[in-house]
Structure formats: structure tokens, C-alpha cells
């Protein structure tokens, strides 16, 4: 089992949504230190003050995980100021919900930079120290869209397919060389955090409440689960895709379960809550230290 008590935890995208909730759960589990990375400095400050008012001390850093130089610089500061990270939650992500033909080059690059490259580069920054101490856990928050295609989220789905393939490949490598360094891949359906406002849940696949999925993730990490798929119907997707011809699967997914219509009325987060454009970020890259 992976202990959270007395461990140092780093969560990307930790200033809001399930990242913030996972931080709270880890603090309640008496983690040694909780470190939050987020691109939104204002949200980080609010989260730090909120936890402080509850008697918790956390470390926060303004980091653009879509920028490898930012990742590596922030990782060095974490090593210098706090030390080794025992558990990494790769949680930061964005979604562009519209037909692929309407995407801009920037939409594509930003999604891949944050959802794929950012996850890999962040893991790479902390994995060697986990290997050196022969202990650690990397938790990659992917998506059920990493298991099947879905209209109006093509680039997002592609990014999550990439994360699932990479995460599982890394897990197998580590099981052969460093089995005490664990990898968990999380593939939830839509979560009610605002990121997917406007979506319609498929039949038998309710939109997940944040508290529910965070409880599942924390329990899964403690139990060293390899793959987490929630809710139950997500686990059926690989089976159905494996046994049904493609056209039959499309019919079932679209006409029976309504999966292919879920993004028809997607709104997403309000613009003032969206991920800031890195070109508008402050040059000073201010740290908010513990």
C-alpha cells in the first residue's frame, strides 16, 4: 500500500477542482507536505489562504505545465526548498470542445503541451529521485475519453489516449526495474467541476461529483491500483469495442447510450476561470512560498 501520511505530495492544477480536493484529502491524511502547482496565481493565493484558515500549511508555485522550462525550474525549487516528492498527481489539463475543423493551431498546440507534454515532463522531473529512493507513486489523471472517440473533443481525446498509452508503458517499465515506484492511471467520465459545463451525461453514466471521484482516487492510490475507471460503464468500453464491429459500436454508443451527443451543448468554464494565456502571465514568475 502507498501511504499518504508523512509523505510529500505534489499536485498539478491544484488550485481548483479535483486538484484542490485531492490536496484537502491529503492534508486530512496528515501528509508531510502538500505542494500545489497551478498557472492561476490568484486561485493559488486564495487556496493557500483557505487552507491556512483551516490550520494547514501548504507550498504553492505558479507554474505553466505547458512550458518545459517552467516545469524544470519549478522542480528545482521544490527540491531545494522542500526536498523529494513522494507522490505526484498529474492533474492539470484543459479541453477545447468544438469540431476539429474549427480548432486553431494554437488550440491544438496548447492542448497537447498541457495535457500530454506537461504530464510527461513533470513526471520526468521527479521520477529519477523516486527511483533513487526506490519508492514513489505517480498518479496520472487521464479520462474515459482516452478509451473511445467522441465528437467535439477530438484533440482532448487524442491527448488522453496519449496519456493512457504512456502511463501504462511507464508502469510496465518500472514494474520490471523499480517495482516500489508505482503508477496509477485514472480514467473518469465527466466530472462536475465546471470544466465540462453544458455536457449531457450518457445513459447509465452519470456525471461524477468531485468528492466521489476524489475519494475513489485517494483510496486507489493507497491500494496501489493500476487502473481506475469510473463510473462502472466506463469499464465496459474496452470490452464493447473489442467484441463489436466498429459500425455496431458506433450505433450503440451514439443511438443507445448517447455518448456521441454529450458535447453538443458544451460550454466549459467561464472565461474568467479558464487557464490564463501564458503570453499574458507576469514575467516575474512569482513564487508563493510556504
Q: 116, 162 in Cβ contact below 8 A? A: yes
Q: Is the peptide bond before 231 cis (omega within 30 degrees of 0)?
A: yes
What is the chain's Cα-based Rg? Answer: 19
The answer to whether the CB of 54 falls within 8 A of the CB of 64 is: no
* Burial annotation 130-160 (CB, 10 A radius, 16+ → b, else e): beeeebbbbbbbbbbbbbbbbbbbbbbbbbb
DSSP state of 206: P
Torsion from C-alpha of 139, 143, 148, 153, nearest 10 degrees? -140
Given the residues 156, 190, 212, 260, the one annotated as active site: 156
For the question of residue 156 being annotated catalytic, the response is yes
Q: Smallest Cα–Cα separation from 126: which of 40, 51, 37?
A: 37
Of residues 161, 261, 218, the one with CA closest to residue 24: 218
Q: How big is the CA angle at 180 (ends 178 and 185), to the nearest 5 degrees?
A: 95
Known catalytic residues?
156
Amino acid at each position: 500500500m502507498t501511504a499518504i501520511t508523512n509523505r510529500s505530495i505534489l499536485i498539478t492544477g491544484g488550485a481548483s477542482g479535483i486538484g484542490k480536493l485531492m490536496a484537502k484529502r491529503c492534508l486530512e491524511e496528515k501528509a508531510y507536505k502538500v505542494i500545489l502547482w497551478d498557472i492561476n496565481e490568484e486561485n493559488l493565493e486564495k487556496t493557500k489562504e483557505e487552507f491556512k484558515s483551516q490550520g494547514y500549511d501548504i507550498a504553492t508555485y505558479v507554474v505553466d505545465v505547458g512550458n518545459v522550462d517552467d516545469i524544470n525550474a519549478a522542480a528545482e525549487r521544490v527540491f531545494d526548498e522542500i526536498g523529494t516528492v513522494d507522490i505526484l498527481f498529474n492533474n492539470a489539463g484543459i479541453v477545447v470542445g468544438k469540431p476539429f475543423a474549427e480548432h486553431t493551431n494554437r488550440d491544438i498546440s496548447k492542448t497537447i503541451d498541457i495535457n500530454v507534454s506537461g504530464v510527461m515532463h513533470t513526471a520526468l522531473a521527479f521520477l529519477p529521485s523516486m527511483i533513487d529512493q526506490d519508492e514513489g507513486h505517480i498518479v496520472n489523471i487521464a479520462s474515459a475519453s482516452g478509451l473511445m472517440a467522441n465528437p467535439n473533443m477530438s484533440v482532448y481525446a487524442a491527448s488522453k489516449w496519449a496519456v493512457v498509452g504512456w502511463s501504462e508503458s511507464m508502469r510496465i517499465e518500472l514494474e520490471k526495474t523499480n517495482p516500489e515506484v508505482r503508477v496509477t492511471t485514472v480514467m473518469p467520465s465527466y466530472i462536475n467541476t465546471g470544466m465540462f459545463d453544458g455536457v449531457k451525461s450518457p445513459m447509465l453514466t452519470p456525471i461524477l461529483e468531485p468528492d466521489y471521484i476524489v475519494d475513489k482516487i485517494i483510496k486507489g492510490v493507497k491500494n496501489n491500483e493500476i487502473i481506475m475507471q469510473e463510473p462502472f460503464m466506463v469499464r465496459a468500453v474496452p470490452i464493447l469495442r473489442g467484441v463489436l464491429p466498429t459500425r455496431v459500436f458506433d450505433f450503440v454508443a451514439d443511438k443507445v447510450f448517447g455518448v456521441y451527443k454529450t458535447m453538443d451543448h458544451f460550454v466549459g468554464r467561464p472565461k474568467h476561470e479558464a487557464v490564463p494565456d501564458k503570453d499574458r502571465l507576469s514575467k516575474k514568475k512569482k513564487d508563493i512560498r510556504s
